[in-house]
Amino acid sequence: MQHQNKVFALEGKVQHYQWGGFTYLPQLLSRSNSRKEPFAEYWLGAHAQAPAQLIGSTDLHQLLQDNPSLLGEKVKKTFGRLPYLLKILDVKDMLSIQVHPTRESAIEGFAAENAKGIALTAPNRNYKDDNHKPEVMVALSEFYLLHGFRAVETMKAILTKVPELNFLLEVFGDGDYRALYSRVMEMPAEEVKATLQPLLDRIVPAYESGSIEKSDPDFWAARAALTYKQEGTIDRGIFSVYLLNLVQVQEGQGVFQDAGILHAYLEGQNVELMANSDNVLRGGLTPKYIDVPELMKHVRFEPVVPHVLEATPVNTVEAVYKTPAPDFELHSIKLGEGEKYSVAANTVDILIVLEGDVVATENDQPGIEMSWGDSLLLLDGAELTLEARSPVLIYRSTTP
């Protein structure tokens, strides 16, 4: 393929995980969903499992493998591959309680599982690749999530307030997070059921009658019990709903998840930018494989004060969500009708339009008309002019 052009229309891959919604992504991407499939995530990146496609041409993983110089000198030297993965998520049902490994742990764990001959697609596989997975999310609607262990005082308060969890006060003491989390994760299944059943008998009817607010962990614990109902057992992830901070963010606000921070998305739509990895260690609220000893190696046993990110303006049009991750940077671009804006890429950038209509023009090439859900790939050195036909919201992923 010829590379005088540095701007290409891009199409991502939809992931139909069971927790996804039925309407948000099909509407965004102008696709029918007559089969009523869950549309959970839309991936825009070069991850080998689900690479985005240059429309009418090759996939992005293949393109960058064959032409690593397209990444630009700095990114090629530092990472050797596209270091990020951009996603749009529609969270209808709660996601699993999860944690991501550091880069060193991922390299080690991936090699160890390969050496044991565990297939990449095996259900008991912990490491899908050799990379870490820090991630930033920005809400596209009101959004709820669990994020990091509660501070000592609020942890004591909730363990005191919920009678069925009083027994954990002694285990936690003045802040023994490891003992507390080990206790609930290593408890035999019969004991989990005996402990949580009285709690669920109390809160599920209240949830079903609509008398619990979303700001109350009981709301999400009851929802989790109904979502992940399996005959004869109760999911131990329900404990974590009380142990982790319950965070509500508004449209345009973000949260950064670093390695070792337990978290779970609960409800809403977001744009998510992460290191190019699919490494997840789970701690409940899932029918998927849970490897408790491996999980415990990665959890940071310390309190977390949730930090809600606001975008930092670059200029009047573009703003950036700053995080410590060297792999990625998420920007928002907002244009009023008739406004023009120039974008220059010094590595591979991916743009997705989430509102409005815009014409993107590269030098003297014909303009590319873009609308809701359309994406563009910008290669190193690309220069692009955006002209809004109506008020526009674009998210741009790049490497700092």
pLDDT tens figures, 109-148: 999 999 999 999 899 999 999 999 999 999 999 999 999 9
Answer whether residue 81 shows pLDDT above 50.
yes
Answer whether residue 204 shows pLDDT above 60.
yes
Note the pLDDT of residue 1: 43
Answer whether residue 89 shows pLDDT above 50.
yes
The topology under which CATH files domain 94-309 is Jelly Rolls (2.60.120)
Note the pLDDT of residue 287: 84
Residue 282 appears among annotated catalytic residues: yes
Selecting among 282, 300, 389, 396, the annotated active-site residue is 282
Note the pLDDT of residue 364: 83
Binding site listing for Zn(2+): 98, 100, 135, 263
Average predicted confidence (pLDDT) for the chain: 96
Q: Which region among 90-94, 107-111, 118-122, 363-367 has the lowest average model confidence (pLDDT)?
A: 363-367
Answer whether residue 230 shows pLDDT above 50.
yes
Q: Per-residue pLDDT averaged across 194-216, rounded?
A: 98
Cβ neighbours, 10 Å, residue 201:
10
372 with 25: CB under 8 angstroms?
Answer: no
Binding site listing: 98, 100, 135, 263
Confidence category of residue 304, pLDDT binned at 50, 70, 90:
very high
309 with 139: CB under 8 angstroms?
Answer: no
CATH 2.60.120.10, domain 312-398, yes or no: yes
Note the pLDDT of residue 2: 46
Q: Per-residue pLDDT averaged across 287-316, rounded?
A: 95
Q: Name the residue ranges covered by the structural domains of the chain.
A: 94-309, 312-398
Note the pLDDT of residue 119: 95
Note the pLDDT of residue 49: 87
Note the pLDDT of residue 76: 96
Note the pLDDT of residue 5: 87
Matching CATH topology for 94-309 and 312-398?
Answer: yes
